[in-house]
Structure 1
Amino acid sequence: MDSDDEEIMAFLFLCWHWLLLVSTMNGGIRDLNSALTGHEYTQELLHGSSTQCLEMMRMSRDAYVLLCNHFNQRNWLQSSRSITFQEKMAMFFIVIGHNERMRMVKRRFQHSTETIHRCFHEVLNAMMNFAREVIVPTSSNPFAYASDRHRRLKQIFPGAIGALDGTLVHAVVPNDQQARYRGRGKDKYYLCDVAYTNTRGFMAPYRNTRYWLADFRRQRALTKEEKFNHAHTQLRNVIERAYGVLKARFPVLKQMAPYPFPIQRDIVIACFAIHNFIRKWNIHDQLFMEYDEETLFAGSQDEETHSQFVHDMEWGSHSMEEMAILRDEIATQLMSNN
């Protein structure tokens, strides 16, 4: 064997050794090697089982297609050279609909983490344009699309800004910034159950009086205290079901990932915008059908929420007396209207 042959053999040996080393380090398997590319997976969502689209996108295929086309027609979201706008939207929905991290989504769509991150933020920015369209009063009358009963309940409790249990959205806020997000506006209050004290900012029902919806099925409310409690639990039920369907569709609202706070805020806005879109366009939706049942919430208590708000309550006698007077005024008004 001459010197040239020896050099060739040495070179081939080094190449073989290098390939063996790389194969050992990577387990001999390419990192992103799913049988379906991201585009093929998106096509499967668009044209395959309707149940798969419902489970993965957290909405019906009709809603998903309509939403994608709406964004594309508004020029908010366009296809790039290798990723369609439908695929970008699918990535976004899997993040907010399953509270997945970018590294998990990249496995499903076979793109780098950087690409997934870029597409997610592209859709999120487009969602802010969308929110300006759908998170607005539907007319000069804010109750235009509310049922007569819901309209009456809101008028009875004009200062109500929510119900405590289950209606708060989780956020990751630095300790030195948390104070600015606490508290309520003047004359505003949360509806709460008897586990809370009836004091400024917290409207509780009358104790030792019928309260839950099931309590009034056999006999209507008779006293002013019962009428108040019945109206109170009806409005709480509406609020809790509204937030319940939101959190069922978007688990990210129950346990937000530690994104920068402006991103957390925009994710919440995007979830509300999609919620309004499905409701406003009257798209057949399984989750809305489930949460339209009044009996779905029979009364529950979130221990973390309870602890937080007990800490924020005003315990002074003046604050408690002020809320007791307001509660009696509402109860008297309800009694005189019937």
Structure 2
Amino acid sequence: MDSRTRFLIYAAASYMLLSMMAMVIESRNKKRKRVPRREGITYGPIDERDRKRFDYLNDKIWKNDTICVNMLRLRRAPFFRFCKLFRDGGLLVDTIHMSVEEQVAMFLHTIGHNVRNRVVATDFYRSGETVSRYFNLVLRAIGEMRKELIRPPSITTPSKILGNPRWDPYLRYDPHLDCVGAIDGTHVRVSVSKDMEPSFRGRKDHATQNVMAAVDFDLKFTYVLAGWEGTAHDAVVLRDAIERTDGLRVPQGKFYPVDAGYGAKPGFLPPFRGVRYHLNEWGTNPVQNEKELFNLRHSSLRVTVERAFGSLKRRWKILDDATPFFPYPTQVDIVVACCIIQNWIIEDGGDDFIISEEEWIANYSYATSRSGQASEHAYMVQFSGQSDKGGHVTWTSSMSTYMLEYLEGIVASGNKTSSGFKQVHLKACAKALNDHFKINLTSDQITNHMRTWKRKYSKIADLRKLSGALWDEENFIISLDHKHYADHIKDHKADAEYLNKPIHNYGKMLVIFGNSLATGKYAKGSSDPLATESIPIDEEEEQIGIDSAAETGSTCRVHPLNEENGASSSAPKPKKAKIVAAIEEEGLIGAFKSVGEKLAGAILEAGKEAAKSYKDLPDNLYESVHSIPRFEDTHLAHYFAHLVDNPPTASVFVTLEFAHKVTWVARYIATTFNG
């Protein structure tokens, strides 16, 4: 095929492509014209809606201190001082239609009562998107005050201890002289996806996060670590707090009294196990020995952190056994934000939500206390090995393997629930072991031995994160080179059984505990910024009426991390028809683009070939053709064009003798023009 023919074909193809595009565009324009244009939604004057909002704020929010406390959990004067803090620091700014006071009021109303987005939108005459956007802005602004409001404890002896007759006689001999506060944990209810629930269901019958806090004797939080799964042991949470870059630091020579679950270590002092501890356990019975005296003083000091948690949940109902509705990372941020606000309130002078020590002790109930002391004490006894259910059992390797195989079968059959194994399955496992090994086990002993293997699984998960460690998926081996292995074993001799050798029963542990292991993936300390996962959308505020606000319950667009953990935004999604139309239009445009690119490439290639062919023509070709006599100029021009299209023929033609040239021209003319 010569160059001229190719150019003609390409030109025809280009014409067809352009014609098709014109037809498609024309048909779409006609289709759009057939659809009647919907009238735009008309709104009343903005100043009228603003007037309604101001009336609501003046009449329903800060009309008087009683109403303000009921709605925002703060009196009017502290509330306006709190808002001034944001404005003066440039953390929040007034917009055209929303003041800083309204932004903070919506935030406090949400966390104070755990009300849904659409309820706040209706009450404040806003859209759901607007409420969600400003909620995240206020949350982030509160996080920016963390360093000013959550500070390390003072190294001086607290006034609560110094001069107090309850402790002062013991200061010269008792280490409480160096106590700078108290540490404890609390469980806050969370909402997570079904596949995440097993790791969040611990001692409670619902999913929770384990929150650890250090508190001074003024009830101010000096450190907070939130976000650990409810199954995480207190000692694991404390270790994470200590190992963080900006984590918990104990001043030199000082310490915190802690619960028995945290264990004894430098800077942290637990009570004696198996000895009376909680205040209501004493009654009228006097102290019998030095251990009971120590536990009594220890409990009297550590009640401070329980009061702090009680005051916190008393004020912010989103933390008090309420089911939250935010993505999980936001739920973690809210816990830290509540602690920051609580510190500011105490520094501002406090209020009736702060529980006094006299009120706390007078109403202290072992069975119904807000922090669940009964459950915590039972939990401490379980881990201390003091349970009297069943006798001592020496577990052999074959017994452990048999138990794990049995539980693995239960998981494979789909009978394990999100809260763990049912009692009927644990009893069946105990019976199977008793029948096979001729022993006498109980379901409680099965549960305790499961905890042992779960701790092993958690240990293996930590070792896999060691620097320089390699993981063999097929043989379940954590490999370390000789130097790394020797350095690690020098300080951690117990880890030798898990390194550089196959891990026995790891496959079974993976099936049983794989989705219920607490990892602390979402844990966040009080030194970390808040609302980093939420991405505010455009600053242009959507202004709609009260009816539309009641129907719109959208939330702010969220970071992909939130979608990963199964708690994505509930913002309105695009209509399905619009999505399909967009996909179809994108596909058609893509097809035209692809064909156009291929056609352009072919034309360009043909042009390159033609240019190359033209360069290969003999320089004297034109003179050689037109110097032949007795032929019409038209015929010679045709023959010249033929030679141009066929450079090899042209190259041979110029080398022929004159008589042969005449013969070639005559033959071409006779063939082309039929004689």
Percent identical: 23
The alignment status of 1:71 with 2:86, answered yes or no, reads yes
> What is the Cα deviation at residue 275 of structure 1?
0.5
Deviations 1:19-62 (A, max 9, x none): xxxxxxxxxxxxxx999833322233675221001111112222
Alignment of 1:1-338 (within 5 A): 37-44=52-59, 48-137=63-152, 139=154, 141=155, 147-148=161-162, 155=176, 162-163=183-184, 167-172=186-191, 174-175=196-197, 178=200, 181=229, 182-183=232-233, 184=235, 185=238, 191=259, 203=271, 206-207=274-275, 212=279, 215=282, 221=287, 223-254=289-320, 255-283=322-350, 285-288=351-354, 293=359, 294-300=361-367, 302=372, 309=379, 313=383, 315=385
Q: How many angstroms apart in 1 are the aligned matches of 2:262 and 2:101?
A: 50
Kindly tell me: are residues 312 and 93 of structure 1, through their superposed partners in 2, closer, same or farther at Cα, counting changes over 3 Å?
farther
Q: How many angstroms apart in 2 are the aligned matches of 1:156 and 1:233?
A: 15
AA paired with 1:54? Answer: V
Q: How many angstroms apart in 2 are the aligned matches of 1:175 and 1:212?
A: 34
Kindly tell me: are residues 242 and 114 of structure 1, through their superposed partners in 2, closer, same or farther at Cα, counting changes over 3 Å?
same
> What is the Cα deviation at residue 95 of structure 1?
0.6
Q: How many angstroms apart in 1 are the aligned matches of 2:330 and 2:277?
A: 43
> What is the Cα deviation at residue 312 of structure 1?
8.2
Q: How many angstroms apart in 2 are the aligned matches of 1:135 and 1:205?
A: 32
Root-mean-square deviation (Å):
4.3
> What is the Cα deviation at residue 172 of structure 1?
3.6
Kindly tell me: are residues 74 and 159 of structure 1, through their superposed partners in 2, closer, same or farther at Cα, counting changes over 3 Å?
closer
Deviations 1:244-302 (A, max 9, x none): 0000001111235142222112111110011100112224x111255652323232353
Q: Is the 8 A contact 2:73 2:112 kept in 1?
A: yes
Kindly tell me: are residues 213 and 230 of structure 1, through their superposed partners in 2, closer, same or farther at Cα, counting changes over 3 Å?
farther
Kindly tell me: are residues 243 and 276 of structure 1, through their superposed partners in 2, closer, same or farther at Cα, counting changes over 3 Å?
same
AA paired with 1:274? Answer: I
Q: Is the 8 A contact 2:307 2:357 kept in 1?
A: yes
Secondary structure of 2:187's counterpart equals coil
Q: TM-score under structure 1 normalisation?
A: 0.65
Query: Bigger shift: 90-99 or 35-44?
Result: 35-44
Partner of 2:540: none
Secondary structure of 1:169's counterpart equals strand
Kindly tell me: are residues 279 and 226 of structure 1, through their superposed partners in 2, closer, same or farther at Cα, counting changes over 3 Å?
same
Higher CA-based Rg? 2
Q: Is the 8 A contact 2:366 2:374 kept in 1?
A: no
Secondary structure of 1:227's counterpart equals helix
Q: For this pair of structures, how many residues does the alignment match?
A: 275
More helix by share: 1
Query: Bigger shift: 85-94 or 295-304?
Result: 295-304
Q: How many angstroms apart in 2 are the aligned matches of 1:210 and 1:161?
A: 15
Kindly tell me: are residues 137 and 145 of structure 1, through their superposed partners in 2, closer, same or farther at Cα, counting changes over 3 Å?
farther
Q: Is the 8 A contact 2:182 2:301 kept in 1?
A: no
Q: How many angstroms apart in 1 are the aligned matches of 2:332 and 2:126?
A: 26
Q: TM-score under structure 2 normalisation?
A: 0.35
Q: Is the 8 A contact 1:241 1:297 kept in 2?
A: no
> What is the Cα deviation at residue 239 of structure 1?
2.0
Secondary structure of 1:288's counterpart equals coil
Q: How many angstroms apart in 2 are the aligned matches of 1:234 and 1:155?
A: 11
Partner of 2:580: none
Q: Is the 8 A contact 2:69 2:75 kept in 1?
A: yes
> What is the Cα deviation at residue 81 of structure 1?
1.0
AA paired with 1:38? Answer: R
Q: How many angstroms apart in 1 are the aligned matches of 2:365 and 2:198?
A: 37
Q: How many angstroms apart in 2 are the aligned matches of 1:243 and 1:61?
A: 24
Kindly tell me: are residues 49 and 111 of structure 1, through their superposed partners in 2, closer, same or farther at Cα, counting changes over 3 Å?
same
Q: How many angstroms apart in 1 are the aligned matches of 2:337 and 2:175?
A: 25
Deviations 1:45-89 (A, max 9, x none): 675221001111112222111101111111111111111110111
> What is the Cα deviation at residue 147 of structure 1?
4.8
> What is the Cα deviation at residue 158 of structure 1?
6.8
Q: Is the 8 A contact 2:182 2:302 kept in 1?
A: no
Q: Could you list the runs of 5+ residues in structure 2 that have no partner in the other structure?
A: 1-47, 201-209, 211-227, 240-254, 265-269, 387-391, 393-675
AA paired with 1:297? Answer: Y
Kindly tell me: are residues 256 and 211 of structure 1, through their superposed partners in 2, closer, same or farther at Cα, counting changes over 3 Å?
closer
Secondary structure of 2:91's counterpart equals coil
Kindly tell me: are residues 44 and 190 of structure 1, through their superposed partners in 2, closer, same or farther at Cα, counting changes over 3 Å?
same
